[in-house]
Amino acid sequence: MSERNSLSDLEIARQATMRPIEEIAAAAGINAAALELYGRYKAKVDPSLLAAPEPAGKVVLVSAMSPTPAGEGKSTTTVGLADSLARAGHKVMIALREPSLGPILGMKGGATGGGYSQVLPMDEINLHFTGDFHAVTSANNALMALVDNHIYQGNELNIDPRRMTFKRVLDMNDRSLREVIIGLGGPTQGVPRQDGFDITVASEIMAVFCLATSLADLRERLGRITFGYTYSRDPVTVADLGVQGALTLLLKEAIKPNLVQTIAGTPALVHGGPFANIAHGCNSLIATQTARRLADIVVTEAGFGADLGAEKYMDIKARIADVAPSAVVVVATVRALKMHGGVPKDRLTEPDLEALQAGVANLRRHLHNVEKFGVAPVVAINRFSSDTEEELDWLLEWCAAEGVQAAVADVWGRGGGGDGGDELAAKVASAVAAPNSFHHLYPLDLPVEEKIRTIAQEIYGADGVEFSVPALKRLAEIEKNGWSGLPVCMAKTQYSFTDDASRLGAPKGFTVHVRDLIPKTGAGFIVALTGAVMTMPGLPAAPAAMRMDVDDAGNPVGLS
């Protein structure tokens, strides 16, 4: 049971004994030539030097019910499940996203799991890691410096500075940079224009990085990025500017997946991390495929709930390579189900069977959605200390009545290396071994608006979709530019099936409002914006950074 004892995640992480990363690599079947050490406990794996067969491992995708501010523990479950599968004798590897520095300095402490289900070294993974996000930041900002320099030096490409669709980025929560004016100071200082900064994980380069199948494919995709339009409204790409080579050069080391270990010693590739709203929210495809060459079962994760993360995994990532999941784990908590059943956030620790019974409607829709892709869901009930036996028993019975496999897991408190995830692992292993009939939700030759309608109706449960006037204009533009064959990447609140974050549970009789569409021609999808999407977070009144420090021995303090 998740007794939230007095130890912080950082303290638990620091008490753990790590094995040298060479040992982890050797046990995972990574030959020395393919391994490049970054300190003692981190390494990069070069897939081109890897003496391992073609990808064949089966994928377990960890997704979730609609998340709540209470936190459902998806990364913790991913780590704990993998540890439990390893404990049961399976050859397992984890594939996870890298944490972004901005939120670490802002709200939360880190993003490497929690309790006794963490990837290590948590402090180094959370702070700079092997520099991948810095490389993405550099490539993104090199592109924009080159674009603005092109305009300044005469603008041969006829770029319209008012129609730029690409921004500079920082891996920082910096509200003041959301809307800026650049190029001030007179004729020798640039060309003034309105601009803004996104956080690095929102960069299309991050999405490209995570969908590329190789360094050569990365170069191709970077070249296809549309960063703006000409005065005659034609798209201008990175290849038009001719700098895809330089951007690839800046990313050539970063594109190699990073190997670390869990507290229990399970190997994990932690690599890439695009936003889950305006991008697809999974670790790099290269990491997933590398893990599939090395392990029989790859446990990976997709951002937000199954309506967003899992759908995008299936319809975007799993179209590029054969990474379709053999099982989808849907993480649920009693707390979150009660919140979807109408309980306010500050009363979630009180027993409330009635609210639980109302809230499962949310979980049910997610489970049915997973089945629509031809894959069997497994419910992971992530246990918290406030859960009552009555609530847990009822939930297990409900799952059984729904015909869905389910298990209570306490990977936070007891760890997957302990017995916290044994039952979950057994059910997941069975699901992986069973046949499935995976298929995408929609064919690519469906018109873009029909793709959006299909997702909204089939997955969200909407009655229909309403397109704003700008969105309709954009649809015509997409048609004209030949981008209609791309899949859709929905940017919608993660808290609700609707585009209104306050409508919890499993709402019916609603319309999804698409206010704009953003073609991401490098990543290879069309983002459909429903509601406002924050691509540059701000810091709270008391940022986590205020508590961070180093102690006298140089050890980190204040990460959690």
Q: How far apart are CA 10 and CA 14, in angstroms?
A: 6
Confirm or reject binding of residue 107 to a copy of itself (CB under 8 A): no
Confirm or reject binding of residue 358 to a copy of itself (CB under 8 A): no
Which of positions 182-201 make contact with a copy of itself (CB under 8 A)?
A: 182-185, 189-191
Confirm or reject binding of residue 433 to a copy of itself (CB under 8 A): no
- Minimum distance, C-beta of residue 62 to a copy of itself, in the bound complex (Å): 29
Do 454 and 487 meet the contact criterion of CB atoms below 8 Å apart? no
Stretch that binds a copy of itself, among 58-66, 177-185, 310-318, 506-514 (CB under 8 A): 177-185
Do 40 and 21 meet the contact criterion of CB atoms below 8 Å apart? yes
Do 325 and 61 meet the contact criterion of CB atoms below 8 Å apart? yes
At which residue do the structure tokens 């300095």 appear? 105
Confirm or reject binding of residue 111 to a copy of itself (CB under 8 A): no
Do 133 and 201 meet the contact criterion of CB atoms below 8 Å apart? yes
Confirm or reject binding of residue 18 to a copy of itself (CB under 8 A): no
CA dihedral (509, 514, 515, 521) in degrees, to 10, reads 170
Q: How far apart are CA 200 and CA 219, in angstroms?
A: 19
Q: Which is nearer to a copy of itself, 181 or 400 (CB)?
A: 181
Residues 6+ apart with CB under 8 A from 154: none
Q: Which is nearer to a copy of itself, 175 or 508 (CB)?
A: 175
To the question of whether residue 57 is assigned a binding role by annotation, the answer is no
Do 17 and 261 meet the contact criterion of CB atoms below 8 Å apart? no
224 annotated active-site: no
- Minimum distance, C-beta of residue 115 to a copy of itself, in the bound complex (Å): 22
Beta strand extents in 460-558 (DSSP E only): 464-467, 488-491, 511-514, 516-520, 525-529, 549-550, 556-557
275 annotated active-site: no
Q: How far apart are CA 492 and CA 222, in angstroms?
A: 26
Confirm or reject binding of residue 142 to a copy of itself (CB under 8 A): yes
- Minimum distance, C-beta of residue 385 to a copy of itself, in the bound complex (Å): 30
Instruction: Give the strands of the sheet with 159-164, arranged side by side.
Output: 159-164, 226-230, 235-237
Confirm or reject binding of residue 26 to a copy of itself (CB under 8 A): no
The catalytically annotated residue of 42, 44, 58, 74 is 74
The residue length of the chain stands at 560
Confirm or reject binding of residue 556 to a copy of itself (CB under 8 A): yes
Stretch that binds a copy of itself, among 86-94, 215-223, 447-455, 515-523 (CB under 8 A): 215-223
412 annotated active-site: yes
Total chain residues near a copy of itself (CB under 8 A): 75
Do 383 and 409 meet the contact criterion of CB atoms below 8 Å apart? yes
To the question of whether residue 8 is assigned a binding role by annotation, the answer is no
Confirm or reject binding of residue 124 to a copy of itself (CB under 8 A): yes
Q: How far apart are CA 420 and CA 437, in angstroms?
A: 30
Do 119 and 94 meet the contact criterion of CB atoms below 8 Å apart? yes
To the question of whether residue 69 is assigned a binding role by annotation, the answer is yes
- Minimum distance, C-beta of residue 470 to a copy of itself, in the bound complex (Å): 19
- Residue 64's identity, in one-letter code, is A
394 annotated active-site: no
Q: Which is nearer to a copy of itself, 260 or 539 (CB)?
A: 539
The catalytically annotated residue of 16, 25, 64, 76 is 76
Which of positions 234-253 make contact with a copy of itself (CB under 8 A)?
A: 242-243, 245-246, 248-250, 252-253
Confirm or reject binding of residue 531 to a copy of itself (CB under 8 A): no
Do 502 and 458 meet the contact criterion of CB atoms below 8 Å apart? no
Confirm or reject binding of residue 220 to a copy of itself (CB under 8 A): no
384 annotated active-site: yes
Which of positions 292-351 make contact with a copy of itself (CB under 8 A)?
A: none
- Residue 430's identity, in one-letter code, is S
Do 319 and 440 meet the contact criterion of CB atoms below 8 Å apart? yes
To the question of whether residue 71 is assigned a binding role by annotation, the answer is yes
Which of positions 145-164 make contact with a copy of itself (CB under 8 A)?
A: 145-146, 148-149, 152-154
- Minimum distance, C-beta of residue 108 to a copy of itself, in the bound complex (Å): 14
SS3 383: coil
To the question of whether residue 42 is assigned a binding role by annotation, the answer is no
- Annotated binding-site members: 68-75
Q: Which residues have a catalytic role annotated? A: 74, 76, 97, 108, 276, 304, 384, 412
- Annotated binding-site members for ATP: 68-75
